[in-house]
Amino acid sequence: MIVKRFILGEYSTNTYLVISGDEGILIDVAENPSEVIDYILTNNIKLKSIYATHGHFDHVLGVTEVKKYFNVPFFLHRSDLDLLRRDERTKGIVPDGFIDEKSIIKIGNEELKVIETPGHTMGSVCYIFDDGIFTGDTLFNGSIGRYDLGGDKNLLKKSLNKLMELNDGLTVYPGHGFFTTLGYEKLTNPFLNGEFEW
């Protein structure tokens, strides 16, 4: 699995192109995705679908433009549908389907699994594969996502505990900022190691 990161938009959102063989999917398509579109076309990647880790505008504003070029479906968790509908910037973005914890995403000869991780938003999810996990705004390098923008503090704590049970060697691909590993975050992230009470 090859992961290509594009940093897009006003909030420096990480948009990920995940490639296996000649197939690809996009995770969290932020605004002004022309660089992403050019890369897919130039490298003859067969884009299969678009996924969101959650429904906040800065993670989905590029969906409509990408769909114009590639006519692929867009998926997110049903619990974040209201977020799209309530925000003037995203109310015109309509999912083609919904994902949940039972969902398996096939790409080339590989798979990603969906983990429901509510807290930052009620429909936040992570996407996990053999070597890595896309955490959206649930977990960052050295920090965690806010829970006052349509989320829930107690649910976020439970979701982070769920991530803590996963393999230390997983590379963490967050929604903003730099890559990290789950093991490093368990040791050094003050929200995970008990250093900071919240």
pLDDT attached to residue 48: 98
pLDDT attached to residue 149: 83
pLDDT attached to residue 138: 98
Going by the DSSP 8-state scheme, the letter that residue 60 receives in this structure is: T
Q: CA–CA separation, 49 vs 25, rounded Å?
A: 5
Q: Which residues contact 147 (CB under 8 A, 6 or more apart)?
A: 119, 120, 153, 155, 156
**CA contacts within 13 A on the Cβ side of 109:** 1
pLDDT attached to residue 196: 81
- Which residue ranges in the chain fall short of pLDDT 70? none
Query: 117, 145 in Cβ contact below 8 A?
Result: no
Q: For residue range 5-51, what is the model confidence (pLDDT) as tens digits?
A: 999 999 999 999 999 999 999 999 999 999 999 999 999 999 999 99
pLDDT attached to residue 49: 98
pLDDT attached to residue 35: 97
pLDDT attached to residue 24: 98
pLDDT attached to residue 150: 81
pLDDT attached to residue 195: 86
pLDDT attached to residue 197: 84
